Copies of this chain bind each other. A is one copy, B any other.
Amino acid sequence: MTVTYTLDVATSKFSSFTRLLLRWRGSLWKAVYPELSLWLILYFVLSAVYRFALNEDQKLVFENVTYFCYKYTDFIPLTFILGFFVSLVVQRWWDMFQNIGWVDNAALYIAAYIEGTDDTTRMIRRNIVRFMVLVQAMVFRDISVPIRRRFPTMETLQAAGFMSEVERKILTDLAVPSAKYSMPIQWAMALIVDARKNGRIANDYAVHDLFDRLREYRSNLGKLTCYDWVPVPLLYTQVVFLTVRAYFLTCIMGRQYVQDSHHSDLNSPIDLYIPFLTILQFVFYIGWMKVAEALVNPMGDDDDDFEVNWLLDRNLRVGLSVVDNVANRRPPLEKDVFWA
């Protein structure tokens, strides 16, 4: 689920910063703690081995390895690749969100253009909205783990009221299976054409406008599928995720406190036991990388992923509500209070 915190940062004050830090869901702490714990355990084990288990000669080897790791870790410029990669992932994430599909515009047009309070007209209006949400549900099943879990089969979609038995049969019996994502839109368009013929829609413009809304909606869902189908090249993702982790793997040795080293620039003046600043660095880099890890597939289960389940229900509920019973919810035409 999305983590909204905008009200906490309404003003830029120190207290808002503190409030921000104390959150858990979708937070840095929650993202970083598993790998940080693992890292710390490895670090302390090695530290203990050095302090208690090794003799002088072995200690010398240990110190040399530490120095080696310490010196060469800065060959890997993490910041830069992380900066560019996170930028790319954040941009894709937002693009996906903008194509996630809202029925509101279409529903408003349907309600305004397809007039009539008889049952057939209501059925037409409601069916068009339902067909739109059905496409969304089918698309989401393919790209979102939580929706797939909720609707493992087409039958479950039918059971949830997204389609009737007849409709499900038509969709599953299609000769070209991938045509099924357009089929409900096609039904909706056919309903509109019929409504125009029966005079339920007053003019040809209206048909064009309704088609435009449906096309907009369908194109959004199409783009969403494309983002899922063609992700950030695997190669790029691997380079980033691997390098950051390899860096900290090297740091387990390279940041050890060692006594009497021959290497002056490794010599830390004090033995802190706990590597405070390396932990800070860990939180910084791994936290930054986790932004990318969480957003690279925003249709998943992470705290910050889109609330697709909610959206599906909301689209159906709001869509049906907008197109239904318009007439009995209109206020009378009155003068406003500023009338002069």
Contact = CB atoms under 8 A, between A and B. Distances in A.
Nearest to A31: B235
A140 interface: no
Given A12-B302, A318-B176, A238 B170 contact: no
Number of copies: 5
Given A112-B186, A206-B204, A269-B67, A304 B4 contact: no
Contacts of A190: 112, 326, 330
Sorted nearest first, the 3 A-B pairs with minimum C-beta distance are A10-B300, A64-B269, A161-B337
Interface residues of A, number: 165
B235 A26 contact: yes
Q: Which secondary structure dominates where chain A touches chain B?
A: helix
A230 B306 contact: yes
Nearest to A267: B263
A109 interface: yes
Contacts of A145: 7, 10-11
B233 A329 contact: no
21 contacts: A3-B234, A6-B143, A6-B231, A7-B297, A9-B300, A12-B302, A26-B233, A27-B235, A67-B269, A69-B277, A76-B280, A84-B86, A88-B90, A112-B193, A126-B335, A126-B336, A170-B329, A187-B331, A190-B326, A235-B294, A239-B287
